[in-house]
């Protein structure tokens, strides 16, 4: 469950959008009615905070955060937003996430957003490097909001106000914020401290931007989320509402939702040979009422059928088995995509998916070994089958144990600076020192290897070397169809051993830093 906090329109006086209607949408709802309808499923008991008095609003938000036992979704009440964008923001695993928009610059290409004191901006000749730039009070505006935020590649680096300078501001916080339950106590204290400084803020300082200003200075890592192919805008006049409604109606929210149903970090084979079309199967299945668990059963059935084909040992059936195991994997991807597209998640489904992925793989191993024996070959194939099964079982165990241990590991702390510091010089100096420290030894080696992922060849090589499930099923399908079970098991053992060595080395290194 998520606690929803509606903020009055800001900056400026609280402007109720009650009378502003979205004529371009079905039912001609008001802005307020539509937003509340969108959020009711998340939290039927909204906390509504007027924003005309910044200090009072901050203290009220502190009270809400102090009593919260769940994550918080904070959004201005005059927001026009796609349902899918709300979903993506609130399902983030980050401790804090803000929707941002970068300032467009004529003739200037923004830097790639190095997290802490990145390289010199690719800018006009008269612009000095960011490391030499002085903090400033941002006066430019994007969508009515003052540009007083510095964003990097993955998070907000620093934020300013009307009386707090920020180095080379390049973005605005549009409005929606998602704060995890673990950061709720920090949010509560931050808001109380900010309330005591309310007299230093300007009339154009935005309330959500002020909240992020406090969180960043208190060492909270606030991640970034852009609008991408989805819509968000704050509105205060009927003209703005009409423009927003028409623009939003012209965007394909379903396509964005479908694309979001596909995992963004899949392996090479899954990305290029499955997900290119499996999402459309997922949408077809979801629209006809198929549940993720039913799709999982289809995948299991195909996997067992593939094993039965392999068990015959005959070449035509081996080829058919290769085709069936491929489609078993396709539907293994589809079940998760149906769950994400239809938003149907459950503990049973997660357990079924994880358990029967292993079952399909191991029953196929048995089918391949049986087929080799019934074809008149020796029983030694069972040694290879057992080796492949044991190796894969150990890898699954290591994956699970490392994941559990990694989740218990506290996040690396970010530097903090006083809220009343006049600018972000001290913060950026601390970030520079932190970056230098993290660039040494094993940590520096890991960071260099991570940066190498920007090259596509390296990126996909790293994906393939770990031998994910897509590559494993592809290897089984191809080697079984073209060669024989012995070649299949040898491929699984050799590639699996390389993958185990690579992942174990990386995890040992990460555990030591």
Q: Could you please report the per-residue DSSP string of 36-66?
A: HHHHHTT-SS-EEE--SSHHHHHHHHHHHHH
Structural domain includes residue 420? no
Q: Could you please report the per-residue DSSP string of 292-335?
A: HHHHHHHHHHHHHHHHHHHHH--HHHHHHHHHHHHHHHHHHHHH
Residue 444 confidence (pLDDT) = 83
Structural domain includes residue 134? no
Please tell me whether residues 221 and 279 are part of one structural domain. Answer: no
3-state SS string over 415-480? Answer: CCCCCCCCECHHHHHHHHHHHHHCCCHHHHHHHHHHHHHHCHHHHHHHHHHCCCHHHHHHHHHHHH
Contact 152/110 with Cβ under 8 angstroms? no
* Averaged pLDDT, groups of 10, the chain, 513 residues long: 82 52 81 90 88 93 94 94 95 93 68 40 56 88 94 94 94 96 95 95 94 96 93 91 90 93 89 95 95 92 96 96 96 93 81 82 96 92 96 89 75 89 94 85 84 90 94 96 96 96 89 77
Enter the DSSP assignment of 483: S
Residue 116 confidence (pLDDT) = 43
Structural domain includes residue 119? no
Enter the DSSP assignment of 16: -
Structural domain includes residue 506? yes
Please tell me whether residues 449 and 397 are part of one structural domain. Answer: yes
3-state SS string over 389-429? Answer: HHHHHHHHHHHHHHHHHHHHCCCCCCCCCCCCCCECHHHHH
Please tell me whether residues 251 and 274 are part of one structural domain. Answer: no
Domain count of the chain? 2
Structural domain includes residue 402? yes
CATH of the domain at 22: 3.90.550.10
Domain residue limits at 337: 261-410+426-512
Residue 18 confidence (pLDDT) = 54
Residue 52 confidence (pLDDT) = 85
CATH of the domain at 481: 1.20.120.1760
Structural domain includes residue 114? no
Please tell me whether residues 237 and 283 are part of one structural domain. Answer: no
Distance from first CA to last CA of the chain, Å, rounded?
35
Structural domain includes residue 159? no
Please tell me whether residues 266 and 245 are part of one structural domain. Answer: no
Structural domain includes residue 52? yes
């Amino acid at each position: 469950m998520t606690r929803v906090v509606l903020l009055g329109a800001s900056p400026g006086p609280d402007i109720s959008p009650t009378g502003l209607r979205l004529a371009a949408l079905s039912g001609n709802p008001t802005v307020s009615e539509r937003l509340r309808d969108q959020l009711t499923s998340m939290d039927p008991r909204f906390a509504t905070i007027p924003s005309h008095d910044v200090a009072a609003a901050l203290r009220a938000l502190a009270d809400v955060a102090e009593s919260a036992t769940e994550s918080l979704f904070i959004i201005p009440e005059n927001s026009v937003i796609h349902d899918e964008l709300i979903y993506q923001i609130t399902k983030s695993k980050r401790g804090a996430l803000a929707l941002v928009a970068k300032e467009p610059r004529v003739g200037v290409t923004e830097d790639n957003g190095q997290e802490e004191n990145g390289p010199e901006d690719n800018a006009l000749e008269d612009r000095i490097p960011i490391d030499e730039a002085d903090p400033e009070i941002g006066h430019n505006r994007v969508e009515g909001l003052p540009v007083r935020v510095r964003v990097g590649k993955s998070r907000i680096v620093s934020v300013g106000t009307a009386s707090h300078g920020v180095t080379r501001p390049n973005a605005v916080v549009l409005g929606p914020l998602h704060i995890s339950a673990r950061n709720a106590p920090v949010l509560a204290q931050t808001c109380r401290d900010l309330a005591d400084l309310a007299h230093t803020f300007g009339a154009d300082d935005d309330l959500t931007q002020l909240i992020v200003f406090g969180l960043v200075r208190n060492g909270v890592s606030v991640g970034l989320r852009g609008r991408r192919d989805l819509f968000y805008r704050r509105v205060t006049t009927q003209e703005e509402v009409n423009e927003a409604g028409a623009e939003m109606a012209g965007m394909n929210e379903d396509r964005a939702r479908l694309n979001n149903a596909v995992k963004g970090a899949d392996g090479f084979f899954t990305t290029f040979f499955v997900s290119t079309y499996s999402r459309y199967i997922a949408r077809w299945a979801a629209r006809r009422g198929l549940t993720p668990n039913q799709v999982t059963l289809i995948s299991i059935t195909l996997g067992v059928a593939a094993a039965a084909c392999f068990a015959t040992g005959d070449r035509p059936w081996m080829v058919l088995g290769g085709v069936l195991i491929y489609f078993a994997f396709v539907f293994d991807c589809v079940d998760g995509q149906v769950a994400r597209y239809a938003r149907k998640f459950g503990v049973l489904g997660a357990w079924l998916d994880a358990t029967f992925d292993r079952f399909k793989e191991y029953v196929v191993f048995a089918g391949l070994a049986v087929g080799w024996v019934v074809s008149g070959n020796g029983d030694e194939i069972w040694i290879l089958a057992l080796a492949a099964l044991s190796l894969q079982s150990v890898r699954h165990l290591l994956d699970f144990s490392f994941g559990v241990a990694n989740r218990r590991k506290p996040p690396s702390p970010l530097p903090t600076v006083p809220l009343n510091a006049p600018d972000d010089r001290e913060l950026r100096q601390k970030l520079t020192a932190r970056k230098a420290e993290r660039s040494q030894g094993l940590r520096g080696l890991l960071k260099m290897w991570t940066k190498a992922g920007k090259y596509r060849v390296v990126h996909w090589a790293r994906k393939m070397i770990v031998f994910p499930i897509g590559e494993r099923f592809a290897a089984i399908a191809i080697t079984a169809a073209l060669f024989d079970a012995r070649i299949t098991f040898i491929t699984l053992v050799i590639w699996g051993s390389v993958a185990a060595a690579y992942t174990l080395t990386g995890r040992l290194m990460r555990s030591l830093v």
